[in-house]
Amino acid sequence: MLRRQKLSTPEHKRDLAAHGGTLSVSHNNTRSFFNFSQLVLSAGHLKSPPVLKHSKITYFEVEILDVQSKKQICIVDKVPPSSTLLDVKHKFHKACPQWYPSRVGLQLERNGPYLKDSVNIQSLAVSSIITLYFTDLGQQVGWTTFFLTEYTGPLLIYLLFYIRLSTIYDQVESTKNFRHPAVHLACFCHCLHYIRHLLETLFVHKFSGGHTPLKNMIKGCAFYWGFTSWIAYYINHPRYTPPSFGHRQVSLAALAFLMCEAGSHFINVALAHQNHSGNKACFPSPTYNPFTWLFLLVSCPNYTYEVGSWISFTVMTQTLPVGIFAFLMVIQMSLWAQKKHKLYLKKFYPEVRRKAAMIPVIF
């Protein structure tokens, strides 16, 4: 059988050739085309592929105009889309060295609000040219410097009156008269209040804005330092008259003062913890700490405790300057609380709508 198969193979080829040469010719043509295709493919592309062009980064030009005269101050060019407004302020400072970034106020409209430094420049762009209005905010100071200066003054001024300098009081009268325990307790409470503020400024509070005008610090220092001098002069005076109800009034008021100071501290810590964690989706809720339970009644319990401290201090010392200062603090804290309460209503309406701003009785 093997022989038959071998013999049949050439016979079969002859039969194909005898039947016609068309099939062999087509087979040769297919083979030639295949070889030619392999040659072309191995040689590379007949046409070079198109070169991919890198996408160009779109830069913005920021035109800065004076808010009063509408005159052009400068143009900050080649601003990348990822830049913030603070980057623009730094470039503006290089072009105009007399304007530091902290004192530059930029607005989209002449009567519009000042833009924050964290604003992305691309979010302001309508075209490749962005027009901003410049306002000189004046000399600026950091918030930490602001509060440290504002609170250090009352602490030192009160101690100067407490030691009864001869330049302030009559030296002979100061040595003869006996000091009531309320005087020493008032000095302790007053120093404790401002030491707490200083420590919270350094280790607790995180300020959203970086700077504030220097004139605001001067106003705040004039208010706190001036009232501290007036308060300390009367309480530490050799002829100071003690409270009407004696030690009971002083003790109860001092206890209330210490409770308000503790409450104010724990509320500030709770608010700072909320800001650090970044969870701003809900209003701060009370914890196991009973001093935070005031969150159930008011939206700004830190102002409530602050006012309570000064009212308690007024009862403890029973002096007119402290009463006037406490009255002004109630007004100021109420304004701040109402302003914050409106912001809370926009952010946390379901949680805040049934709460008061600062005083639990008024809803």
pTM: 0.77
For the chain, give every residue range classified as CATH 3.10.20.90: 60-138
Residue 104 in tokens: 């530059």
Amino acid 19: pLDDT: 46
Cβ contacts of 324 within 8 Å, gap of 6 or more: none
- 267 within 8 A of 301, measured Cβ to Cβ: yes
Tell me how many helices (H) and strands (E) the chain has.
Answer: 11, 6
Residue 245 in tokens: 């109800």
CA distance 257 to 245: 17
pLDDT value at position 3? Answer: 42
3-state helix, strand, coil in the chain (%, to 5): 60, 10, 30
pLDDT per residue as tens, the chain (363 positions): 334 444 444 444 444 444 444 444 445 555 555 555 555 445 444 445 554 444 456 889 999 999 999 999 999 998 998 899 999 999 999 999 998 898 999 999 988 899 988 899 989 988 889 999 999 998 999 999 999 999 999 999 999 999 988 888 887 777 767 889 999 999 999 999 999 999 999 999 987 667 899 999 999 999 999 999 999 999 999 999 999 999 999 999 999 999 999 999 999 999 988 755 545 557 787 889 999 999 999 999 999 999 999 999 999 999 999 999 999 999 999 999 999 989 888 888 777 777 888 988 654
Which has the closest alpha carbon to 188: 158, 168, 166? 158
pLDDT at res. 36: 53
Strand order in the sheet with 72-79: 72-79, 60-66, 129-136, 104-107
User: CA–CA separation, 296 vs 120, rounded Å?
Assistant: 38
Arch. (CATH architecture) of 60-138: Roll (3.10)
Q: Can you spell out the DSSP letters for 161-229? A: HHTT-TTTS-HHHHHHSPPPHHHHHHHHHHHHHHHHHHHHHHHT---SSSEEEHHHHHHHHHHHHHHHH
Nearest by Cα to 293 from 266, 274, 312, 269: 266
**Residue 74 CA to its chain's centroid (Å):** 29
